[in-house]
Structure 1
Amino acid sequence: MLQYYRGTEQDRKVLFSAFQAGFVDYVVKLDLTMEQFFAHLFDQEGNAREHSFVAMSGSEAVGIILGGIKLYEGIRTMRCGALAVRPDLRGHGISKELLRLHHQEAVDQGCRQLYLEVIQGNDRAIAFYNRHGYQRLYDLSYYTLTNLSGLTAATQMEASGHGMANIAQLDSHRFVEAVQGREYFHLNWQNDLDYICRSDKYVFYGALIKGNPAAVMAITRQGRISLLMVDKNERGRGIAPMLLNSAVRELALTRLQISFSNNAGLHGFLQHLGFQRDPIQQYEMYRFL
């Protein structure tokens, strides 16, 4: 007999075992230790045990949904950080019940929208979410650059006429102030300021003109870029390649990775520098309450 529990009603090992069982055949291999599972999906992504639910068959954890709440794009939002059911028990209504509990929790907590990401091509999951009122609103793209020689050449060529810009590392407070003062555009959940500030893995860069940041970037020490913003009147003048090249040199990077949603200008910029679009992409889906 199946029973459903709030995440706080089961211990950490049960939640982790449910996650492992449900994602054993996932298209992207998720090889996490229990410590990594809680550090990444809870501490950084913002999921909370009190907003998550686990399905139990006797003493076995067979399904899980993770939920996290925050003010996202000015709206109180519940995000589904993961939904998974053990493969041999799929098609028996477990996902439906977990999603129902997730939805009710959002309503009870005063949320105005539900949000999740799903891999493009996962047609079964997409159809499932569509049936439950979710709509695809954004396409989330991933790009990788492994040949960094082109970046160095672009920096030397394009930035030669922009000697006014001084590239420097910023502390987190100055970075946040610089981002908040810029024009708004959509950032997915895993690239927004809240996500970045929850982690200690980022290095912040700014291109300073007369002491003020004309561009900013948040990048991990492994080369994952979460945010790259350039002032509108400074775009196309070589500042972004200067930021990237400074990070590559100072952090001794051998590759760069970036993800973002529906930004044609950024697509063109990355392709110009030689970034390759990764085969796995995602949709961002919303359900409005």
Structure 2
Amino acid sequence: MITYKTCTDVTINEIFQAFSLGFSDYILPLTMSQDAFEARFFGPEGNALNLSFMAFDQNHPIGLILSGIRVFDGLATMRCGTLCLSPDYRGQGISQKLFDMHKSTALTFQCKQLFLEVIKDNHRAVKFYENCGYKHVYTLKYYSSMIQTIASPTDTLPYIVKQVTFDKLESFRKSLLDCHISWQSDTPYYASSTHESLLGAYHADRQVALIAMSSQGKINFLWVHPTCRHQGLGRSMIQKAAQAQNVEKVTICLPSNASLEDFLRKLGFQKEPIEQCEMYLPL
């Protein structure tokens, strides 16, 4: 008999068992320790136990949906942090039941939309979400580069680069009302991190550029004032942040953005083969 429980009523060990089983045949290997799983999925990913659910066959964990709520793209949003099911139990309506619980909870908390990311080539999952009412809105693309391949600016730039506070960067990001940034790169994702490199560039006390880079070299935020572009400032900011983090490789994830992709390619970034669909369901 299949039963369902809120994740506040189960153990983290059971949650991890369901996660490991559900992703045992995934298109990309997802191998991590239980401690790493808990730190990531109930840390920066933003999932909450009271918003997440599990499926059991007798006492055996077989399915999991993780959920979190935040203001995203200006709206109260319930994100599906993961939905997975043991391969032996697929096609029996269990995923649909977990999703129905997820959606019902979003309505209870007065969310305005549901949101998730799914690998573009995972056609079965994409079809399932489409059948649930989701629409593919943005495509996430991944780029990477060894820092030594990024050419150095040829001219000495007239800017002072210094550390900035998270609050300052967050305040500026919030001012960009029509700027879509992926869930895993937006400021709430690294708000509690003590290892993010946050740098600002200034000219005559005027802020002209900002960058946020993780300790692994992931560029979470990069902005250059329009009047200061095409001068090598963006490239310089990447180099300085990478130097601060002591990384040899830098990565970035971004929604479809032709001008930014052109900028990355000119610096020598290579596009990774994987792409993700960002899918939305208005409530």
The interval holding the TM-score normalised by the smaller chain is over 0.9
User: How big is the shift at 1:182?
Assistant: 4.4
User: How big is the shift at 1:150?
Assistant: 3.4
Q: TM-score, normalised by structure 2?
A: 0.96
Matched, 1:48 2:45: no
User: How big is the shift at 1:167?
Assistant: 1.6
Q: Runs of 5+ in structure 2 lacking a partner?
A: none
SS of 1:278 mapped into structure 2 = strand
Matched ranges for 1:1-289 at <5 A: 1-146=1-146, 148-151=147-150, 153=151, 155-157=152-154, 160=155, 162-163=157-158, 165-182=159-176, 184-289=178-283
User: How big is the shift at 1:205?
Assistant: 1.2
SS of 1:121 mapped into structure 2 = coil
Q: Runs of 5+ in structure 1 lacking a partner?
A: none
User: How big is the shift at 1:200?
Assistant: 2.8
- Give the conservation status (yes or no) of the 8 Å contact 1:178–1:216: no
Deviation by residue 1:72-98 (Cα, 9 ceiling, x = unmatched):
122111000000001111111111111
**Corresponding pairs, count:** 283
Which range moved further: 181-190 or 234-243?
181-190
Which range moved further: 232-241 or 50-59?
232-241
SS of 2:260 mapped into structure 1 = helix
- Give the conservation status (yes or no) of the 8 Å contact 1:167–1:242: no
Q: Give the residue type in structure 2 aligned to 1:156.
A: P
SS of 2:153 mapped into structure 1 = helix
Runs of 4+ in 1 over 4 A off after TM superposition: none
User: How big is the shift at 1:9?
Assistant: 1.2
SS of 1:259 mapped into structure 2 = strand
- Give the conservation status (yes or no) of the 8 Å contact 2:197–2:244: no
- Give the conservation status (yes or no) of the 8 Å contact 1:178–1:213: no
Q: TM-score, normalised by structure 1?
A: 0.94
Deviation by residue 1:8-29 (Cα, 9 ceiling, x = unmatched):
1111111111111101111222
- Give the conservation status (yes or no) of the 8 Å contact 1:136–1:285: yes
Identity among equivalent pairs (%) = 35
Q: CA-atom RMSD, angstroms?
A: 1.4
- Give the conservation status (yes or no) of the 8 Å contact 1:144–1:277: yes
Q: Give the residue type in structure 2 aligned to 1:162.
A: L
User: How big is the shift at 1:248?
Assistant: 2.5
